[in-house]
Amino acid sequence: DTAVSQTPKYLVTQMGNDKSIKCEQNLGHDTMYWYKQDSKKFLKIMFSYNNKELIINETVPNRFSPKSPDKAHLNLHINSLELGDSAVYFCASSQLYGGTNEKLFFGSGTQLSVL
């Protein structure tokens, strides 16, 4: 069983469209995250939710809206897609939120290409 699963794996779309990426974890973790990895391979946190509550909201355009219907799911909706949004988006989860030995479990990533 996949611990952190995200869909779709690939997403190719036109500028201006709205798209969503879904993430689910079956690890029973309380905390979930969205990370963006750009073409230079730099992995940067976007959002974090702990028990459905938004904890971290980095300087991300408000076209990006995360939603956590329950602690096992964290979806990412992107409005009015731009060329610069092209990247790999990783969902992750962890249990010891705030703990010093928190281990992150990542999904396999969604490659978003905006044309």
> What does the binding site for another protein look like in residue numbers (CB under 8 A)?
35, 40-45, 48, 55-56, 90, 97-104, 106-109
The minimum distance between CB 41 and another protein, in angstroms, equals 6
Residue whose CB is less far from another protein, 66 or 107: 107
The minimum distance between CB 79 and another protein, in angstroms, equals 25
Residue whose CB is less far from another protein, 2 or 20: 2
In the three-class reduction of DSSP (H, G, I as helix; E, B as strand; rest coil), residue 32 is classed as strand
In the three-class reduction of DSSP (H, G, I as helix; E, B as strand; rest coil), residue 11 is classed as strand
Residue 112, classified by CB atoms within 10 Å of its CB into exposed (0-12), middle (13-18) or buried (19+), is: buried
Residue whose CB is less far from another protein, 15 or 56: 56
In the three-class reduction of DSSP (H, G, I as helix; E, B as strand; rest coil), residue 83 is classed as helix
Q: Give the Å distances, CA to CA, from 43 to 52, 69, 87, 104.
A: 23, 25, 10, 13
The minimum distance between CB 98 and another protein, in angstroms, equals 4
Residue whose CB is less far from another protein, 14 or 39: 39
